[in-house]
Amino acid sequence: MLLIIPSDSFAIPINNDSALTAHKGEVIFREQIRYTRKADDPSDLDRTLDVISIPNVLVYGVTEKFNVISTYPVIYKDFDTNTSTGRASRDAEGFGDLTLLAKYLFWKRDRPLETLRADLVGGLEFPTGNTNEEDGLGKLPRDLQVGKGSWNPIVGTVFTWQTLRQQIDLALTYQFNIEGHGFEFGDLFRHDLSYQFRVWPWELPEKRGVPAYLNLVGEANGVWEQKAQSNRSRIDASGGYTLFLSPGIQLVTKRLIAEISVQLPAIQFLNGEQPETEFILIGGVRLQF
């Protein structure tokens, strides 16, 4: 028996990665709008941070097993805090840091109506974003700049199990943040687990594939961040661990995927006095060529 999973446009997690690679010569464009709200600052500064990030993602299938992925985000940050003269607002906007990744399918097992796949992922984040933004109060702090100013290696692995109705994806990623211009952001470790379930149509038609279908998506997205350093001095009020629970819904057609999701912190342990993440709202589309 042949594997009958539709191959024209497979579902992918909203806040996670998938081990399902693009076909040879295939191009996929994916764009999301992510709005992050941080507040509940325990300090007297009562800091709040609103971030809008638009990651523009291109995937190209070099071969059936080897894909290259580029991500070039547009970022807007708005920061408010108490000062000795009253409430102050600072903002920054522009293109962030470019990320180039390679994904290699190193293991797969196809069974009737089921596939299992595992990928290796590796690449580099380039310091293309601005790190010298200024306003009337002077140069913005490094964590408010749209760029990190450093060359940051990324390694990871992704596992996917997929049937005609459901899919599970597990991804582990580690990013080494290197010092740049006297400042070093903390390393990042991400662990993501997602589950997708087709709710419409409940029964697939007799012919191969369907014109469109609807998935319910549930994800657990964890991120651990090491403490940052400035001029080799550790910043105690930085880094920590957050686990998000992320429900979502996804409409999949032959060449397009539309999706929405919300990330809500279930566990949040931050080092020192920092604003906490209240929520992240996500909306996006993916086009397949």
Q: What is the pLDDT of residues 144-189, one digit of tens each?
A: 999 999 999 999 999 999 998 999 999 999 999 999 989 999 999 9
Q: Give me the pLDDT at residue 164, please.
A: 87
Distance, in Å, from the CA atom of 165 to the CA atom of 162, rounded to the nearest integer, reads 8
Question: What's the CA gap between 175 and 283, in Å, rounded?
Answer: 25
User: Partners of 214 in the beta sheet?
Assistant: 200, 251
**Mean pLDDT along residues 250-269:** 95
pLDDT: is 9 or 3 the higher one?
A: 9
Position 11 confidence tier, pLDDT thresholds 50, 70, 90: low
Phi and psi of 200, rounded to 5°?
Answer: -150, 135
Q: What is the pLDDT of residues 200-244, one digit of tens each?
A: 988 877 666 567 889 999 999 999 999 999 999 999 999 999 999
Give the pLDDT of residue 8.
Answer: 46
The predicted pLDDT at position 210 comes to 63
* Residue 248: closest CA among 224, 220, 276, 222: 220
Residue matched to tokens 């992704």: 158
* pLDDT at residue number 205: 75
Residues whose CB falls within 8 Å of the CB of residue 5, separated by 6 or more in sequence, listed in order: 113, 114, 115, 162, 163, 164
- DSSP 8-state symbol, 136: T
pLDDT at 134: 92
Average pLDDT, the chain: 92
Return d(Cα 240, Cα 213) in angstroms, integer: 38
Domains along the sequence of the chain with CATH:
27-288 (2.40.160.40)
Which of 259, 267, 200 shows the shortest CA–CA distance to 240?
A: 267
State what percent of residues in the chain have pLDDT above 90.
84
Confidence of residue 1 (pLDDT cuts 50, 70, 90): very low
Asked if 122 and 100 count as a contact pair (C-beta separation under 8 A), the reply is: no
pLDDT in tens, 37-62: 999 999 999 999 999 999 999 999 99
Q: Report the residue count for the chain.
A: 289
Q: What is the pLDDT of residues 89-102, one digit of tens each?
A: 999 999 999 999 99
Task: Report how far apart, in Å, the C-alpha atoms of 209 and of each of 37, 159, 251, 252, 254 are.
Answer: 39, 24, 15, 11, 9
Q: Supply the pTM of this predicted model.
A: 0.92
Q: What is the DSSP string of 192-241?
A: EEEEEEEEESSS--SSSS-SEEEEEEEEEEEEEEPPPEETTEE-SSS-EE
**pLDDT the model gives residue 5:** 39
Question: What DSSP string describes 88-126?
Answer: EEEEEEEE---EEEEEEEEEEEEETTEEEEEEEEEEEE-
Residue 241: per-residue pLDDT: 98
